[in-house]
Amino acid sequence: MSSPKKPALIKSLRFALIFKLFACVISGLLALPATIHAAEGPQSTSMSAACPKLLNETFPRLQDEQPQSLCQYAGKVILVVNTASYCGFTRQYDGLEQIYKRYKDQGLVILGFPSNDFGQQEPESNKKIADFCRNTYSIKFPMFTKSSVRGPNANLLFRALTKQTGEAPSWNFHKYLISRDGKSVQSFGSQITPLSLTMTNAIEEQLRERQ
């Protein structure tokens, strides 16, 4: 005749085993986020390291003033231009948009920086500048909020471009052409139009270069 204590003992052992398994599952789930974060760490570091020093800056977008890291353009050929809405060179917006459309699929991006440094020819607010660019020239390339591009108050990108080329903008629509790796920068004065052979040949030469 079996002892009445055995069924209770077996039941107790089963409960202990189930509880132990449940505890192991919970412990594994709690440890999962730490594993994910550990895996993400080196990847983030690698992405940061891939951004050239010249592009390691953030500027507010013209349309909504949301901060934009220039690192997102790493690996592209970049044409940086300081712009103004009431200048004899303002019509160059049209040429800039044309070369952006022509070469963007090959890796070109144009970055526009409105500035009131020259002749007080960009006095408007960021919203009015954005409306002007969109409504008058249908600009699709990235534009950033108004800032200074020359002298002690120049934004950090233009300071670096001036230092690297030895040439600061002398008027609106000065252009800097940055290579894919961010190490080479060419400077073009306002008189060099976007659709000129000088400009398009330089762009095409840089586009042929691969990282």
Distances from the Cα of 74 to the Cαs of 56, 110, 209, in angstroms? 9, 13, 14
CA atoms within 13 A on the CB side of 104: 12
Close Cβ partners of 17 (under 8 Å, ≥ 6 residues apart) = none
Distances from the Cα of 168 to the Cαs of 22, 86, 92, 102, 150, in angstroms? 68, 21, 19, 28, 6
- Measured distance CA(119)–CA(89) in Å, rounded: 12
* Cα-Cα end-to-end distance for the chain: 84
Say whether 87 is catalytic.
yes
185 and 165 Cβ atoms separated by less than 8 Å? yes
Catalytic residue among 24, 51, 71, 87: 87
The residues assigned a catalytic role are 87
